[in-house]
Structure 1
Amino acid sequence: MKQAFCRFIYHTLLGWKAKVSVPDFDKCIICAAPHTTNWDLFIGKLFIGAVGRESGFLMKKEWFFFPLGPIFRWMGGIPVHRSKRTSMVEQIIEKVKQSDKFHLAITPEGTRSANPEWKKGFYYIALGAQIPIVLIGIDYEKKCITADKYLYPSGDIEKDMREIKLYFKDFKGKHPEKFDLGKI
């Protein structure tokens, strides 16, 4: 029922397409980009539901006020306290290890503004938990979300981040000027 509802909204009402060829891993980190608008969350959640998969997501804690906080938590949201130095990576690694299934979507830019210095927490979570990183590209120009590449982190972060960034080079966010791959 949920999948049919998401498909109807995603495909029929909004006119978006989905290209998915990656396996449905029991555990993975989803690296989703470009992230240039708040609409990415809703389009992304509809996409995940339409293809019959599940995923939680990280979001800055400031969005978890009433009445949005309970809604975002229900949708799988995990608040991030960006001003504090916490062991979020280690906490998530432990959660992954304790779970039979675990899917978490993270936007590597960490903001909707142009940021050439991508956050690397998603990489360290996948490396520490020994799970794949599924790359999901959001393309507003083509109205298509693509999930056709994944990788297991090798430990060579420079090499792996270059491969990850190159994957996203042809995707167009809602506001392309707000997407910056940085040095690759």
Structure 2
Amino acid sequence: MKKTIGKLMLDIVGWKLDNHLDLSAIDKCVLVCAPHTSNWDFYYTIAAFWQMGIPMKMFIKDAWTKPWYGYFIKQLGGIGIDRTQNKNMVEFASQLLKSSAHLYLINTPEGTRSYSPKWKTGFYYIAQEAQVPIVLGYCDYKEKRAGLSKIVPVENRTLEEILAEIEAFYQNVTAKYPEKFNKKIY
């Protein structure tokens, strides 16, 4: 049902699904989604991921999971996190991946929809600790495409090598608000 809804959502707005990966080969991963400059990114991303049948989860402020609509946020894959508590999110996220048979854990390393001088690097440490690859997802507003296009292995690679590869990938992706997307991520 979600596949049909996802396809319909993208068709209505004239967007296309762009998937260059064999998803059957990826049981679990850290799914980096960028650029993240608008709330619309969530709409297109969810539609694309539903159409692909991706078993996704994402961390979200726990305030979004507690009110009457919290049920729906959880059904969309939201995991409420109280960010005022001093928790080791890398360990929590890596344990979640390790204990799951099939999970794409969404991460938006810009950390905000506003301009960010550099990305947060927790996604790299989560992938390393959980021993899973990083998969790159995107929304390209110029091309009106959303999808997955690259697997970035983390084993035996430095943070700088990974960030350089990711930065090169996102150079030709156009954000909804390009002035808010810093293409120099580190």
Q: What is the TM-score normalised by the length of structure 1?
A: 0.91
Cα drift, residue 65 of structure 1: 4.4
1:17 matched to 2:16: yes
Aligned residue number for residue 157 of structure 1: 159
Distance 2:166 2:83 in 1: 23
Sequence identity percentage: 34
- Single out whichever of 63-72 and 99-108 deviates more from structure 2: 63-72
SS at match of 2:80: strand
Cα drift, residue 179 of structure 1: 0.6
Q: Which runs of 4+ in 1 moved over 6 A?
A: none
CA contact (8 A) 1:135 1:149 kept: yes
Size of the alignment, in residue pairs? 183
Aligned residue number for residue 166 of structure 1: 168
Deviation string, structure 1 residues 85-129 (Cα, Å, up to 9, x no partner): 311110111121111111111111011011122111111111111
Amino acid of the structure 1 residue aligned with 2:184: G
- Residue 114 and residue 20 in structure 1: after superposition, are their counterparts in 2 closer, same or farther (change >3 A)? same
Question: What residue ranges of structure 2 are gaps of 5+ in the alignment?
Answer: none
1:78 matched to 2:76: no
Question: What residue ranges of structure 1 are gaps of 5+ in the alignment?
Answer: none
Candidates 151, 175, 180, aligned match of 1:178: 180
Cα drift, residue 7 of structure 1: 0.8
Cα drift, residue 54 of structure 1: 2.4
- Single out whichever of 87-96 and 66-75 deviates more from structure 2: 66-75
Deviation string, structure 1 residues 4-47 (Cα, Å, up to 9, x no partner): 1221221x211111111222111111101000011211211111
1:2 matched to 2:30: no
CA contact (8 A) 2:49 2:147 kept: no
Cα drift, residue 183 of structure 1: 5.6
Q: What is the TM-score normalised by the length of structure 2?
A: 0.90
Amino acid of the structure 2 residue aligned with 1:15: G
